[in-house]
Amino acid sequence: MTTCDRNPTKLLIILITFLCFNNIIAKNEWISDATTDQTGKIWALLIAGSNGYDNYRHQGGIPDENIIVFMYDDIAFHPSNPRPGIIINKPDGNDVYHGVPKDYTGKHVNAVNFYAAILGNKSALTGGSGKVIHSGPQDHIFIYYSDHGAAGMLGMPEGDYIFVNDLIDVLKRKHKAKNYKSMVIYVEACESGSMFEGVLPENIKIYATTASNATEDSWATYCPKQSHRSPKDYNTCLGDLFSVAWMEDSDKHDLSKETLNQQYHAVRRRTFVDKSGYGSHVMLYGNKRIGNDFLDTFLGNSPDYDNYKYSVQSPQTISSLSKLSSNSVSQRDASLIHYQYKFQEAPFGSREKMEAREQLEDEIFKRRHADNSINSIGKLLFGQARSSEILHNVRAQGQSLVDDWHCFKTFVKIYEKHCNRMSSYGMKYTRAIANICNAGITMHQMDQACLQTCLGKT
């Protein structure tokens, strides 16, 4: 199941991500004590942006009070959570919600606060704890993002999307201010490679790893009716495959002895597309020399782990033993799978059965609406013969998604103004919108095509 749907299945996956990370860092003293060059400190910013119980998987494993945490925080006591007040990140996992720090929640989980936190700009914040990254020239920064993605942008539960050009601009500004020595970014989202493909400079000391390349979905795991399935009382997936892979790899190794590159290759093997077609291509961008640094440079190493018995198995063996691809599902289908399972499991003739059927039918309708809308817009703009070729065009690897980012952002907003905000499934069509920009369509033409398609007006 891809991890790109906004559904009850999704929240579980983000959740597992944070939960596992919480186990890795263990104590809330580690980050303040962790140093790299005697004077350098470690900073971490973690964001799980989805909202709704269906996005459970994105909000797991929140770390200590010294880390900046963004989480929507609507899962633990959501009516659909079979264990109120408890959050787990894997089938046999313990509660990882109690005592979790939450710097930015609800409406404060937005792109404005995300950028402000990275830049250390408290005056730009719109709520929350006020915690930002006050890093210096010798410090190391780790940023982990988990939410719904699409070509050219990342989702947020409130406000605007995180668009490629805005994110890269913020990172360049951080580098220009000489506020870090090196930065590592892990992104869990569909088509997450598009956030860095052809746009992340190699000379600003950033090492970025993404769950998928620029054109494919990422995947959910620990889902209902799988061999490594979620508990029977859960009707959603518990984790994201990429995030589960890097967190469980971190939990198996001494972070002072495993490098970023070693983890990248281990996670890539575990997440890689197999013969069944499951999985994604984990990608690497930016300054690859940073990959020679050890993981504890960015994740720290808790004193509690001094006597921990790490696995002595090779990365290849670990990858083979823990391969979950065949038990994973495309993120784009996460919501659909959730509602199908919920409908199947509800007692015959019950109110729950009726409600589940309505939710399933609504999900199917929204998916058809997204499919039909973008196809109709394409035909209005390019004609029957050329539409499909233009909308589905994929640029060569290494080339950015779009020539004019302002056009892309504007066209996304025009589409949503007339055709409603994109669901996680509908976000699959942002590449088509980018192609419309690249084809030279004007703002007026796009507006009229969307208006005619979604409101039935000429």
In angstroms, rounded to a whole number, what is the distance separating the alpha carbons of residues 374 and 436?
Answer: 11
- Please report which helix (H) or strand (E) contains residue 436, including its range: helix 430-438
In angstroms, rounded to a whole number, what is the distance separating the alpha carbons of residues 270 and 347?
Answer: 37
Q: What are phi and psi of 140, to 5 degrees?
A: -120, 140
Residues 330, 454, 434: CA angle, nearest 5 degrees: 55
Distances (CA, A) of 140 to 73, 113, 161, 258: 27, 20, 26, 17
Q: For residue 129, what are its two tokens?
A: 């704890």
Cβ atoms of 372 and 432 within 8 Å: the answer is no
According to DSSP, the β-strands at 162-163 and 153-154 are antiparallel
- DSSP, collapsed to helix, strand or coil, labels residue 118 as helix
In angstroms, rounded to a whole number, what is the distance separating the alpha carbons of residues 258 and 286?
Answer: 20
Number of Cα atoms under 13 Å in the Cβ half of residue 98: 6
The catalytic residue among 148, 253, 338, 418 is: 148
In angstroms, rounded to a whole number, what is the distance separating the alpha carbons of residues 68 and 45?
Answer: 5
* Placement of tokens 């994110």 in the chain: 167
- DSSP, collapsed to helix, strand or coil, labels residue 285 as strand
| Dihedral of alpha carbons 1, 283, 13, 409, sign | negative
Q: What are phi and psi of 254, to 5 degrees?
A: -75, 115
Residues 174, 37, 18: CA angle, nearest 5 degrees: 60
Q: Which residues pair with 229 in a beta bridge?
A: none
Known catalytic residue at 437: no
Q: For residue 42, what are its two tokens?
A: 């470690």
Residue type, 18: F
According to DSSP, the β-strands at 283-286 and 206-210 are antiparallel
Q: For residue 120, what are its two tokens?
A: 């250390």
Task: Describe the strand order of the beta sheet including 42-48 as a list of residue ranges.
Answer: 68-71, 42-48, 140-146, 182-188, 206-210, 283-286
- Of 366, 341, 381, which Cα lies nearest the Cα of 422? 366
Q: What are phi and psi of 262, to 5 degrees?
A: -65, -45
According to DSSP, the β-strands at 219-221 and 206-210 are unpaired
The catalytic residue among 4, 190, 237, 419 is: 190
Known catalytic residue at 369: no
Tell me which residues are annotated as active site.
148, 190
